[in-house]
Structure 1
Amino acid sequence: MATTASPEIAEPEAGNVSKYVEPDAAQYTRFPPRRKQLITFVLSICGLLTPVGSTTILAAIPEIASTYNTTGTVINISNAVYLVCMGISPSIWGPLSYIYGRRPNCIVSSVLFTAFSIGTALAPNLASFFIFRLLTALFGTAFFVVGTAAIGDIYAPTERGTSLSWFLSGTQIGPCFAPLLGGAIVNSTSSWRGIFWMQTGIGGLATILVFLCLPETIPSRAIDEMHHLSTAKRTTRFLYLLNPARVTVLLLSNPNLWMVGLASSALIFNMYSLLTPIRYILNIRFSLTSPLQSGFFFLAPGFGYLLGTCFGGRLSDLVVTRYIKKRGRRLPEDRLRAATLFLGGVSPVCMLVYGWTVEKRVGGIALPVIVMFIQGVSQLLSFPSLNAYCVDVAEDRSQSSMVVAGNYQIRYAFAAAGSIACLPGTEAIGVGWFSAISAIFLFVAMVLVQFVILYGERWRVGKGSRGGKQAADFCLSAAKPHEGE
C-alpha cells in the first residue's frame, strides 16, 4: 500500500491548498456532481437493508420467542448469528467487487436480500427463521463494502468524508429507527411477521433504485484485465483473487488497518450493546409495557446519528484540507484527528453516565435519553473519519474494497460479541459495569488511533513493520496481471 510520500522524502513547502494536486485526480471527475449525489443517495438507501434487519426485531423479541416456543436469549442468538454473517460476508464481497465491479454485486445482493426477507416473513419454524435471517445478512452486507468503495471511486479525498457521512446515515440511523417501526408494527398487528414484510418492501425499493440509478464506478475491473490470459491461468488468478483469506491477511498484516478496525469495532460493540437490551432493561426500569413504548427509546440515538451525519463528514474533510495546507501534501492519517475527541472522550463518558444512572435509578427517563442522543452524535462524528481512512490508504482504487472489507469483517465480529454478551452481561454484573467495559473499550480504541496518527505512515511504507508490508505485498501481488502473461 504505497503512500504519496515516504518519511525520507522532504516535505513539500506548505502553501495554499489549491496548489495541491491529488494523484489520478481525473478519475474523480467522471461523473457530474448531481450524478454523484444520486449515487450516494441510492447507496445510502441500500445501506439501510442489513442494519434494519439486525435491529427491527429488537422491539419484538418476546413475541418472536413466543411464536417459536423459545426464549428471548435464543432470539438474541439469532441476531448474533446475523451479525457474525455480516462480519464474514465482507471477505466475499470485497474480492467480488474488485473482480466484477460494484454494480453487478449490488444487483445480485439487493435481489437476494429481498427474496430471503420474504423467506424470513414466512418462516414456519425456528430453524428456517435462523437460516433465512443468516442469508439476508450474507447478501445485504455487500452494500457496506461496495457502497464505501464506490464512494471512494467517485469522490476525491477532500470531499470523501462528507459523502461517506451521508452513506453512513443509512447504515447507522437505520438500526435506531427500525426498532420503533418494529414496535409499531407489532403493536398494531399483533404479529412480528409484518416487520419482515416491511423489510421486503425496503429491499424491493433498493433493487429498483440499483437497476435504474447505479452505474459502474470502479475505474477498472480485474475480470477485464484477465481476458488475455489462458483459461488455466485465468482460472488460477480468479480463484486466488476470490480467496476470502486475502482480506484477513491484508487486515492483520497492517497495524494501521487492524488498529483502525478495532476503533470501528469499539463503536459498533458500543452501539449493539446499548441498543439490544433496551426492551429488557429500560422497560423494567421505567415500568413500560408495550413494544412501541420501548421503541421510542431508540429514537434518541437515532436523532443523534442524524445530527452527527450533518457534521461528521464535513469535519473530517476540513481536517484533511487543513493539514494539506499545513504540510503541502495529503497524509491519510491526518483524517483520524477529527475522531479522537469523540471516540475516546465524549462516547465513553456518555456510556458511563447512561449505565450508572440506569443502574442506580436516578435521573428519570430524561437523563438516559439525553446521553443516548449525545452518544449518537458522537458516534457519527467519529465514523466518517474511520471509514474514509480505509479508502484513503488504498491508493489503488481497485484495492479499496479489500481494505474496507477487512474493516467491516472485524467490526461486525465485535458487533456479534456485543449482541451476545449484553443480556447475560447486564444480568451478571449490572448495566453500570457492563457500560463501563464498553467505555474502556472506546478509550483504548482512541489510544490505538493515536498510534496510527503518529506511526501509520511509517507502517504503510514498511519502516515500522517490514514483515507486515511484505505479507501485504504478497497478498496483493496477484491483483494486477504479471508481465509476460
Structure 2
Amino acid sequence: MTARDEVNAAQVGGDIEKAPRDGRVEDKPSTTLREDVAAYGLEKVLARHGRVDLVPLPSDDPQDPYNWPAWRKHALLVQVAFHAMLGPFSAAAVIPSFETFVELWGISITQASYFVSVPIVFLGFFPLVWGPISNRIGRRPVLLVSAIVSAAMHFAGAYCHSYGALMTTRVFQAIFLCPPQSIGATMVNEMYFQHEKGARLGIWTLFTSLGPPVAPLIMGPVVYNTGKWQWTFYLLAIINLAQFFLYIFLAPETAGFNRPARGAPGTNAPLAQTTEQKTPYWRLLFTFKRVSPAPWSHVPIEVVRPLAMVTKLPVLLPSCAYALVFAYTNVLLTVEIPALLGRKYGLNAQQIGLQFVGAVVGAVLGEIVAGRGSDLWMAWRTKRANGNREPEMRLPFGLPGFILALVGILVFGIQLQNTESGHWNVTPIIGVGIAIFGLQLVTTVVYAYVVESQPASLQGRVPPFVAAVRQLWAFLAPFYLEDTYADLGNVKASGLLAALAGGLGFLLVFATLVFGRKWRHRGVEA
C-alpha cells in the first residue's frame, strides 16, 4: 500500500484496534483503504478524485457536477463570477458621465447619482426572486435569459433621450443582471466539495467586489476618448452578448442532479448501488427540463423566506459587519473619488477612472490571500482539533480585514486633507488599496462562514439574504456620504466611517466567533 493509501486509510479506515508496539499503544486500522473502498463501492470515486474523504460523496456518473473535469468547473465558475461582477459594474459604469448628464438634461449632480443608487436597490432584492425560479427551471436558463435581456436593455439605454427613459432602462438592467448575486454561491456548492469552497467562493466574491472600481476605471477612458456617454452602454451590451454565447457552450446545468445517498467508511449510511451513465456532454447543453417539481404557487413565499435569516444570529451579525465594510470602503470610494479627488486635483473623466487602479490592486491581492488562505487556515485548525471542524474556526482569518479597512479609510481621508490642491498625489489611493484589501478578506471569510454555519436545507437562502443586506446599506450610503464629508471634513468623516466599518464590524464578527457555536447548537433567534 502506498504512503497516500496509508494516510487515507488512517482518515477513513474501518474499525480501529489498539496494538502495542515498542512499549507504546498506537491506533492501527483493522482494514486497508482498498478493502474499505471495495466494501462501500467507492472504487470509481477513488480512481477519479484520488481520495474518498469527500463531503459530499459524489455518484459514479461522470456528469455529476462534482465529477466534472476541473477545466469545466473553473470555466463555469469564472463565467458566473464575471456575471456577478457585471451587476455592480453596470451600476457604477455611468459615474464618469455624471457631468455630461447634468449638462444634457439640466439635472443636479445628486440626481445624476441616482443612476447608480437606484439600480443598487434592485440588485439587492431581485435575487430573492431569481433564486426560487432557478430552483424550478435550473440555473442555466436563468443565466441565458439574464445575459440576452441585459444586452437588450443596455442597447436600449444607449438610445434614451430623457432622464426618465434612461432611469427606466437602468432599473431593468439591474433586474436582469442580478441572478448571479443569489445563485452564484449556490452553484459553487453544487460543483465543489467542502474543502474547496473557500477558495472558489473567494473567486466569486472577488469579481463582485471588483465591479464598482473596475467600471469607472474602464468607462472613464472610454467616455473621455469617444466623447459619447452612449459607448458605456454599447460596451456593456456587447459583453452581455458574448456571455450569452459562452453560456450556450460552456455552462452545463448544475442543479437537479439526482445523486443517490451512499455509504462511506466509518459511517452508518446505506450502501448505494450507483451505475455510471453515458450521457453525452452536448445533451447537457441543449436539453432543458424542470429540475424540481415544486409548484409555482409557492414562489411568493420562497421569495421572502430568505429574509427569515434575520432571525439567525450567525448569519445576521456577520452580514451586517460585511455590509458596513462594503458600504464604507467600496461604495464610499466609488462614489466619493470622483467628487473628492476630482474636485481637489482637477481631474478629467479619464484621470478619475485611473484613480480606481488602487482599488483593483487591493481587491486582487486581498483575494490571493483570502481565498486559498482561509481554506488552509481551516485545514490547519481542523487538524489541531483532531478532525472536529466547526464553521467558527474560519472567522479569525477575517478579523484582520476589519483593521485593514479601518487603516485604509483613515489613510484616504488624512492624506486627502494634507495633500496640496491642484497637484495629484498617490497617497490617498494607497489608502484605497489597503481598505479594499481588507474588504476582500472580510468578504471571502464572511460568505464562506455564513453558508457553512447553516444546515444544507437552509444554505440556499443565505447568499440572497447577504446580498440584500449589503445592497440595502450600499443604496443608503450615497445619500449621506457627501454631506458627511462636507460637514465634518475629510479627516473627521473618514474617522467616523472607519470606526463604524472597522470597529463595529470587528465587534460583530468577534461576537459571532465567541458565541456562534452556542447560537447554532441552541437555535437562538434574534
State the TM-score, normalizing by the size of structure 1.
0.84
Find the aligned partners of 1:394 and 1:223 in 2 and give their Cα distance: 26
2:465 is aligned, of 406, 423, 442, to 406
Find the aligned partners of 1:19 and 1:200 in 2 and give their Cα distance: 44
Q: CA RMSD in A?
A: 2.4
How far 1:239 moved relative to its partner?
4.5
Higher relative contact order (CA 8 A, sep 6+): 1
| Structure 1 unaligned regions, length at least 5 | 1-13, 228-233, 469-485
2:56 is aligned, of 17, 20, 24, to 24
1:58 is aligned, of 95, 100, 109, to 95
Residues 226-265 of structure 1: matches in 2 within 5 Å? 226=293, 234=295, 236-241=297-302, 244-249=303-308, 251-265=309-323
- The structure with the largest alpha-carbon Rg is 2
- The Cα offsets for residues 34-55 of structure 1, whole Å up to 9 and x where unpaired, read as 2211111211221231121121
How far 1:122 moved relative to its partner?
1.3
- The Cα offsets for residues 158-217 of structure 1, whole Å up to 9 and x where unpaired, read as 211211222233222232122022111221121111111111111112222222211111
1:387 is aligned, of 442, 447, 465, to 447
Which residue number corresponds to residue 419 of structure 1?
478
Which residue number corresponds to residue 266 of structure 2?
none
- Count how many residue pairs are aligned between Structure 1 and Structure 2: 438
Find the aligned partners of 1:20 and 1:347 in 2 and give their Cα distance: 40
Q: What percentage of aligned pairs have identical amino acids?
A: 21
1:279 is aligned, of 300, 314, 338, to 338
Change (3 A) 1:114 1:64: same
Asked if 1:446 is matched to 2:506, the reply is: yes
Corresponding residue SS for 1:349: helix
Find the aligned partners of 1:105 and 1:19 in 2 and give their Cα distance: 34
Which residue type is aligned with residue 340 of structure 1? L
Find the aligned partners of 1:437 and 1:80 in 2 and give their Cα distance: 22
How far 1:444 moved relative to its partner?
0.8
| Residues 285 and 361 in structure 1, CA contact (< 8 A), matched pair in contact too | no
How far 1:136 moved relative to its partner?
0.9
| Residues 160 and 388 in structure 1, CA contact (< 8 A), matched pair in contact too | yes
| Residues 83 and 137 in structure 1, CA contact (< 8 A), matched pair in contact too | yes
| Residues 54 and 79 in structure 1, CA contact (< 8 A), matched pair in contact too | yes
Find the aligned partners of 1:311 and 1:423 in 2 and give their Cα distance: 32
Asked if 1:101 is matched to 2:159, the reply is: no
Indicate the structure with greater helix content.
1
Which residue type is aligned with residue 45 of structure 1? F
Which residue number corresponds to residue 474 of structure 1?
none
Find the aligned partners of 1:207 and 1:184 in 2 and give their Cα distance: 26
Which residue number corresponds to residue 46 of structure 1?
83
Find the aligned partners of 1:424 and 1:121 in 2 and give their Cα distance: 31
State the TM-score, normalizing by the size of structure 2.
0.78
Asked if 1:82 is matched to 2:82, the reply is: no
| Structure 2 unaligned regions, length at least 5 | 1-26, 28-49, 60-64, 259-288
- The Cα offsets for residues 42-98 of structure 1, whole Å up to 9 and x where unpaired, read as 112212311211212222211122222111110112211111111111221232233
Residues 76-225 of structure 1: matches in 2 within 5 Å? 76-219=113-256, 224-225=291-292
Corresponding residue SS for 2:107: coil
| Residues 147 and 240 in structure 2, CA contact (< 8 A), matched pair in contact too | yes
Instruction: Name whichever of 28-37 and 324-333 sits farther off.
Output: 28-37
Which residue type is aligned with residue 74 of structure 2? Q
Q: Which runs of 4+ in 1 moved over 6 A?
A: none
Corresponding residue SS for 1:365: coil
Which residue number corresponds to residue 278 of structure 2?
none
- The Cα offsets for residues 208-266 of structure 1, whole Å up to 9 and x where unpaired, read as 22222111113559965537xxxxxx45445533xx221111x2110111111112201
Find the aligned partners of 2:516 and 2:136 in 1 and give their Cα distance: 28
